[in-house]
Amino acid sequence: MQARFKILARLAAWALLACAGTASAQMYKWKDARGVTHYTDTPPPANAVPLKAFSTAASQPALPAELAAAVQSRPVTLYTTVNCAGCDQGRTLLQARGIPYTEKTVNSVEDHAALKRAGSAGQLPLLLIGRGKQIGFEADTWTTLLSEAGYPAQAMLPAGYGNPAPAPAAPPPAPSAQERALAAAKAAAEQAQRERRLPPINAAPDFRF
């Protein structure tokens, strides 16, 4: 029972990540050998007739040249966790200065292992600027490091720009075929059980099984 619960938990976590990623998925429109049109989020087969490739993501406005250059050469990643005052302060500083950044949350054992690989033994927040790192929040130090990395001192983010949503530092692995089959069987069994509980179409109001 416990093993089944863990599998379902992994499937739920993967589904949430999949839903979050759908907003930026690449979609393809193509025809097969029979002339049937398909819409998929994976590239079409080599022998297919590609009709159109398009992105479902809302296009981000272009960054100013100075900011874009800094992002390309020294991207910013912020590791955070819940109930962390320094994490909140660090996030506020980045947002106030208009720094594009990726946030990785540390909550699970796997997340902590990923944090250790990134360069921190457990202390948060962890700020990565390119290959440089700063453990713990110090406003003056963070400000200096960002300036040395080429980030503008004043916010220059264009209106409508949005940073990616925070994601686990160690995303759960994709469910195996066996796990997907188990989840599908469970869903089918639950649906069949719900249908058995439905009263007949012309049943009396006081009908009971």
Q: What is the mean pLDDT of the chain?
A: 80
* Number of other residues whose CB lies within 10 A of the CB of residue 131: 7
Same domain? 79 vs 154 = yes
| 172-192 pLDDT, tens digit each | 877 777 877 787 888 888 887
| Bigger pLDDT: 174 vs 135 | 135
- Please state, for a pLDDT cut of 90, what percent of the chain lies above it: 52
Query: What are the phi and psi torsion angles at 101 (to 5°)?
Result: -150, 160
Same domain? 39 vs 70 = no
Q: How many Å apart are CA 169 and CA 116, to the nearest integer?
A: 10
- Residue 204 gets the label, from left (phi > 0), alpha (psi -120 to 50) or beta, of beta
Same domain? 40 vs 121 = no
- Please state, for a pLDDT cut of 70, what percent of the chain lies above it: 67
Q: Is the dihedral of CA 17, 20, 22, 24 positive or negative?
A: negative
**Enclosing domain of residue 156:** 65-168
Q: How many Å apart are CA 141 and CA 153, to the nearest integer?
A: 14
| Assigned domain for 1 exists | no
pLDDT reading at 79 higher than 90: yes
Q: How many Å apart are CA 145 and CA 77, to the nearest integer?
A: 13
| Assigned domain for 160 exists | yes
Q: Looking at the chain, list the stretches that DSSP marks H as alpha helix, in order from N- to C-terminal side.
A: 2-22, 65-73, 85-97, 109-118, 139-148, 177-197
| 5-60 pLDDT, tens digit each | 455 555 555 554 444 444 444 556 666 667 677 666 666 676 565 555 444 445 78
